[in-house]
Amino acid sequence: MLNRGIRIVRAGLEGGKIVGTYGKPALEKSANLTAQVRIHLLFTEKALTSIAEIWQASSWGAQNPILATCAVVGTTGAVVLAVPGLVTAPVLSSMGFTIGGIQAGSAAAAAHSWIGNIAPGSAMAVGQSAGAGGSGLVVVNGAAQLGGAAMTVGSASLAWVKAKL
């Protein structure tokens, strides 16, 4: 029992040395953190205003689900129309059409093994070309842009009809 007490006292003394060594830098960091928190609190009022605006927008979306959906779909369509590569690159890659050709074990590889020889101008050939960054990419991006335009126009039309009812 006495042996345990001595160990506890030694551990306490060792802890005191550690606090003496590392306490000052920790205190300085704590003071710096406190200053940063004070600066953050100054901007909290603006953040709360932004949160209130987000809350108002979400409650508007809950009250007008069709118009909110039209806004989201229309915005997504406009982005796809403007930058089709945001959609086509990940889709082509996930299907297995890569810069180095068809990725082994992918859906494109399964389709290729089922089809056999690829005919020039076929959908498979266009996918291969698009994945490798060739002229097929123009076709794929164009199709994505057409879809984006359809999303934007369709959602705007639906929103207009909804507003008139």
- pLDDT of 2 reads 55
3-state secondary structure the chain: CHHHHHHHHHHHHHHHHHHHHHHHHHHHHHHHHHHHHHHHHHHHHHHHHHHHHHHHHHHHHHHCHHHHHHHHHHHHHHHHHHCCHHHHHHHHHHHCEECCEECCCCHHHHHHHHHCCCCCCCHHHHHHHHHCCCCHHHHHHHHHHHHHHHHHHHHHHHHHHHHHC
Please state, in angstroms and rounded to a whole number, the distance separating the CA atoms of residues 67 and 163: 9
- pLDDT of 30 reads 54
pLDDT tens digits, residue range 140-159?
999 999 999 999 999 989 88
- pLDDT of 165 reads 82
- pLDDT of 147 reads 93
In the chain, which stretches have pLDDT less than 70?
Answer: 1-51, 54
